[in-house]
A and B are shown apart, each in its own frame.
Chain A
């Protein structure tokens, strides 16, 4: 089983570079990240001990770029017809889903690694709160893992990579910008504390802000995991559905 996982994982990860897409995505990501930090984030004017000017825009950038990473994972298999080859191999569907998902996550990690020179360079200029920055990178990685899981699931339902890209952006934007706090004000008389907690816990930005500010808690991890695992499950279901 591990051998099959390794084979699909390596195939998918290498495919980013073989097709040349990797270099374009990495390049655009680096430009957008640094440009947002320097020009829009106020890198030189803010108290930047935790590089907040850089991390603040990461979910927006990842919302646009990660769909370009995940859109091919299943949609391309359908387009090329290789899905028929892949799914007639003696491999559990869940293993194939995990392998493809991990390949996209590793690519996401590589994207984040491209920005490490900013951390390094800034550390020569000012006194940084390194623990906080590490926590912020963790927030970005959790965001990458979540967005990749959602992107792969969308890709599993589409034969067209462009459609997969557009739908994924829409889904990620929905997840990222969901904020149901207005329900709390409109139902203030009836809602109890538990309801308020549930509503607040659905807010992506709240969890992201918690983690980048170094206040990572179990509720943050649970939030991200409750998005990742169901998305992967939906991915397996999508493959199973194709058998019908």
Chain B
């Protein structure tokens, strides 16, 4: 369970996240939805402790991220936007590094590494340097690195950005599957993705959480509109 209470964060005079509250439970795939600059990435960075909130708190399975940062982060894996990786490493070296970072050793490391690589279908590029990989494979490598310790909460920032249609499909299928037994939080502004993977939507605009709903409820709110139009209506200036 991950809980955000009265979470706020400002950069100078701009309120990036403004008094956000929610509670996400196991088995939910949550789409963090909003236009560019809505505060999605800032919220994710607050949830992962990368940024420090001005007020409010984040609790991860009972651990306050400001007070028990390391305990809280053991349960989380985060793949930032553009899936940053170390270009001079091979896929295998990167996954070993990711596993070691999470305290995995010997057999545990080898087993989890093989499992994460097979989940992301990386066997064909296992020994290839990351800087020679296609964008799709890089993305999968980053996700495999995040999965290596089997996190209970997986946070993905724009997970299908730059992927081809087949890769998008695979990634969405994976998110749905992983979200059955864990928590997955996905930041996106692609409505097709929301319809495809999310069981819940947190809609943000100008730092505020303007709606906490389900795809079905959002659709019911505007029965004569499709999801994209509903999104536009809820987040437009007018």
Nearest CB in chain A: distance from B90 CB, A: 9
In the complex, A3 Cα to B84 Cα: how many Å? 22
Nearest CB in chain A: distance from B50 CB, A: 5
Q: Does A42 contact B (CB under 8 A)?
A: no
Q: Does A243 contact B (CB under 8 A)?
A: yes
Cβ < 8 Å to A, chain B residues 39-87? 45, 48-52, 69-74, 76, 78-80, 82, 84-87
Q: What range describes how many residues of A lie at the interface? A: 20 to 34
B52's closest neighbor in chain A, by CB?
A: A243
Cβ < 8 Å to B, chain A residues 143-181? none
Residues of B within 8 Å of A7, CB to CB, are 97, 100-101
In the complex, A8 Cα to B79 Cα: how many Å? 18
Task: Please tell me if the beta carbons of B70 and A92 are within 8 angstroms of each other in the complex.
Answer: yes
Residues of A within 8 Å of B86, CB to CB, are 11, 15, 80, 82
B-side binding surface: helix, strand, loop or mixed?
loop
A83's closest neighbor in chain B, by CB?
A: B84
In the complex, A18 Cα to B84 Cα: how many Å? 18
Residues of A within 8 Å of B85, CB to CB, are 80, 82
Q: What range describes how many residues of B lie at the interface? A: 20 to 34
**Known contacts A4-B100, A8-B101, A18-B89; A88/B48 CB under 8 A:** yes
In the complex, A91 Cα to B74 Cα: how many Å? 9
In the complex, A19 Cα to B79 Cα: how many Å? 24
Task: Please tell me if the beta carbons of B78 and A244 are within 8 angstroms of each other in the complex.
Answer: no
Residues of B within 8 Å of A14, CB to CB, are 93
Cβ-neighbour of A81 out of B71, B73, B76, B84 (below 8 A): B84
Residues of B within 8 Å of A88, CB to CB, are 48-50, 73, 76, 78
Residues of A within 8 Å of B97, CB to CB, are 7, 10-11
Residues of A within 8 Å of B80, CB to CB, are 81, 84-85
Most chain B C-beta atoms within 10 Å of own C-beta, residue among A6, A19, A90:
A90
Residues of B within 8 Å of A87, CB to CB, are 49-50
Residues of B within 8 Å of A89, CB to CB, are 73, 101-102
Residues of A within 8 Å of B49, CB to CB, are 87-88, 243
Residues of B within 8 Å of A92, CB to CB, are 70
Q: Does B170 contact A (CB under 8 A)?
A: no
A-side binding surface: helix, strand, loop or mixed?
helix
Residues of A within 8 Å of B48, CB to CB, are 88
Residues of B within 8 Å of A11, CB to CB, are 86, 89, 97
Task: Please tell me if the beta carbons of B88 and A18 are within 8 angstroms of each other in the complex.
Answer: yes
Residues of A within 8 Å of B88, CB to CB, are 15, 18-19
B105's closest neighbor in chain A, by CB?
A: A3
In the complex, A243 Cα to B69 Cα: how many Å? 13
Task: Please tell me if the beta carbons of B84 and A85 are within 8 angstroms of each other in the complex.
Answer: yes
A80's closest neighbor in chain B, by CB?
A: B84
Nearest CB in chain A: distance from B43 CB, A: 14
Cβ-neighbour of B103 out of A4, A10, A80, A243 (below 8 A): A4
Nearest CB in chain B: distance from A197 CB, A: 42
Nearest CB in chain B: distance from A172 CB, A: 26
Residues of B within 8 Å of A15, CB to CB, are 86, 88
Nearest CB in chain B: distance from A13 CB, A: 12
Residues of B within 8 Å of A81, CB to CB, are 80, 82, 84
B residues neighboring A (CB under 8 Å): 45, 48-52, 69-74, 76, 78-80, 82, 84-89, 93, 97, 100-105, 142, 145
Identify the 10 closest CB pairs spanning chains A and B, nearest first.
A81-B84, A7-B100, A18-B88, A90-B73, A90-B70, A243-B52, A88-B48, A84-B80, A82-B84, A90-B74
A residues neighboring B (CB under 8 Å): 3-4, 6-8, 10-11, 14-15, 18-19, 80-82, 84-85, 87-92, 243-244
Give 11 A-B contacts (CB < 8 Å), ordered by A residue: A3-B103, A11-B89, A19-B88, A82-B85, A85-B79, A85-B84, A88-B48, A90-B69, A90-B74, A91-B70, A243-B51
